[in-house]
Amino acid sequence: MDRFKILFGIGKEDVKRHCVLTPFIMPQVLNHLGVRRLAKGLLSSSGQTKDMTFIKTHMGALFAGDAVLQLKDTGCETVIFLGSCGLINRNSGLDIGSVVVPTSAYSIESFSDLVNERELNIHPAYPDDGILQAINTFDKSIPPVSCVSFGSMELEDNYRPLFSRLGTDVIEMECAALFNAARHINKKALAILFVSDVLGEKPFWRQPDVKDKKRLAGGVRQACEAIKFYVKNY
């Protein structure tokens, strides 16, 4: 058995032109996307539809970035990341369940730098403009946002002044690594995120109420519809 199949559960030759990566599987995601089963690999679980390969990684920049790098010598051309994010900017009009697409992602991923409060060297990473425009054509209600990819959930509140200075709307963990890895191997990449928590108000560890669960389910469905549109038409 080759290295790729050990890691992903499917052969390198089976990878489709469009790949969807997610760090965890929200309820109904597989049904929405039409993925019937997942093959378990050492690091990731993978499934297929007619138009795409679905890969469930783990949470964090390392796993998302490495998964993209492993797609270098496959038939993959585009990578779409499906994930959750925390809302930073309440004035943006977003709320739990809102679906967004990052137009930039600031890389603040080093846990050691964050916990030791070292000076940060911050650079943005960017998605592919073509995929971004295609998603906007399909669903103009999905707003573009500025994102920060952050290396700690525990330290988020400590760095809120920095997020405000950067003008970021949402926070998550993987987008900058995904964009940078895709660019490194000459693949196109985009992220579609749904808001799952609100910094300072509704933390990630809380149990969502019935209203928020309904909003989240709607956001997941909307994100999946945008993904299905792209992989079917491009």
CATH number, domain of 179, equals 3.40.50.1580
**Among candidate residues 72, 58, 153, the one with its CA nearest the CA of residue 115:** 153
CA distance 196 to 86: 6
Give the model confidence (pLDDT) of 90-128 as tens digits: 888 899 999 999 999 999 999 999 999 998 989 999 999
pLDDT value for 1: 64
The structure tokens listed for 196 are 């799952």
Domain assignment of residue 15, given as a range: 3-233
At 198, is the pLDDT very low, low, confident or very high (cuts 50, 70, 90)?
Answer: very high
DSSP letters for 158-224: GGHHHHHHHT--EEESSHHHHHHHHHHTT-EEEEEEEEEEETTTB-TTS---HHHHHHHHHHHHHHH
Please compute the mean of the pLDDT values over residues 48-56 and round it to a whole number: 97
Place of tokens 């890691």: 7
Residues recorded for the chain: 234
Contact criterion met (CB below 8 Å) for 131 and 56: no
**pTM score:** 0.96
How confident is the model over 10-37, as a mean pLDDT? 96
User: What average pLDDT does the segment 24-29 reach?
Assistant: 93
- Neighbouring residues of 222: CB distance < 8 A, sequence distance ≥ 6: 99, 139, 142, 194
Rounded Cα distance, 169 and 160, in Å: 11
Sign of CA dihedral 76, 82, 88, 91: positive
Q: What is the pLDDT of residue 96?
A: 96
In the chain, the number of structural domains is 1
- Model confidence at 20: pLDDT above 80: yes
Q: Which residues of 80-96 are buried (b: 16+ CB within 10 A; e: fewer)?
A: bbbbbbbbbbeebebeb
For residue 192, the surrounding DSSP H or E stretch is: strand 188-198
Would you say 32 and 225 are in contact if contact means Cβ atoms under 8 Å apart? yes
Residue type, 169: D
pLDDT of residue 99: 98
Across 154-179, average pLDDT: 96
- How confident is the model over 131-146, as pLDDT tens digits? 999 999 999 999 999 9
In this structure, are residues 65 and 181 in contact, taking their beta carbons and an 8 Å threshold? yes
